[in-house]
Structure formats: C-alpha cells, structure tokens
Amino acid sequence: MESTQKALTMADVAGWGSAVVTFGLIQGALYLKAYWGHFGLDPFQFVSSMLGSGRAATISSGGGKHVTAVTVDGKVQGDLSLIGRLGDSYALWDPARKAAVLVPAGDVGRMEIVRKGVMPVPAAKYR
C-alpha cells in the first residue's frame, strides 16, 4: 500500500490557526464573563454599548442583580449598586437619592457585593 502525504500549505496553517485562536478567544470571553459575573461585574461593559450606557440604565432603574454595602469611616452605606471604578474612586449608584456617589478607594474600609434578596453573613470585627 502506498501512503500519500499531503503537504500543508500556508492556507491550511492559516485556516487551522484562525479556528484555534477563535475558539480560544470565545472560551476566554465566556470564562471572564462567568467569573466576574459572580461579583456583579461585567468585564465587557464598555464593548457592546457606548460607555456602558445599557448597564447604567439597568442599574439606575433598579434592575441590577446585586447590591453593595460599603464601609467608610466605620459607617456602613448599604443598598448601593457598584457602577465601576473611576480613577482612584468607586462609582456607586444610590437609588434612594437617584444619584451617583464617588467614594475614594482609600476611604473604603470594606466592600460587600451580594445578590439582591441574599442577606450577607455578619463579619467579625477587625481591630
């Protein structure tokens, strides 16, 4: 029996390479979305809409899935929604005041992000 060997052309290599890279990118995107989604964040928030306007509209209308409690100077500010980070500050949405609140990252002692309807477990006091 004679075996025939086919020589790989550049088109074959480019085609298979493109398929492998595309598969890897899709898998990576799904992983990132699933991982950061557990924390109420969307790693692609600024890709599908301009400056995350779709996400901001969802959060400001109360449609977000998560709430954030931030401890600043020993006082807990709860029922906020984390919009994102702006420089060295956290951008939070306060639905009671219908306003965005900027909190410097250095002033944040603790930040808890939980799904709506889930009560956080009280944390031990740190000295």
Residue 122 lies in a domain: no
Half-sphere exposure of 46 (CA within 13 A, CB side): 4
pTM recorded for the entire structure: 0.49
Domain of residue 19 covers 10-39
Q: Is 107 helix (H, G, I), strand (E, B) or coil?
A: helix
Which residue, 105, 104, 53, is CA-closest to 83?
53
- What pLDDT score was predicted for residue 29? 86
Please check the confidence at residue 18 and state whether its pLDDT lies above 90.
Answer: yes
Q: How confident is the model at residue 49 (pLDDT cuts 50, 70, 90)?
A: low
CATH number for the domain including 99? Answer: 2.30.30
Question: DSSP labels for 25-79?
Answer: HHHHHHHHHHHHHTTT--TTTTTSSGGGHHHHHHHHTT--SEEEEEEETTEEEEE
Residue 123 lies in a domain: no
Q: How confident is the model at residue 51 (pLDDT cuts 50, 70, 90)?
A: low
Q: How confident is the model at residue 122 (pLDDT cuts 50, 70, 90)?
A: low
Residue 81 lies in a domain: yes
Question: Based on the domain organization, do 31 and 59 belong to the same domain?
Answer: no
Mean of pLDDT values over 97-103: 87
Residue 110 lies in a domain: yes
Provide the domain count of the chain.
2
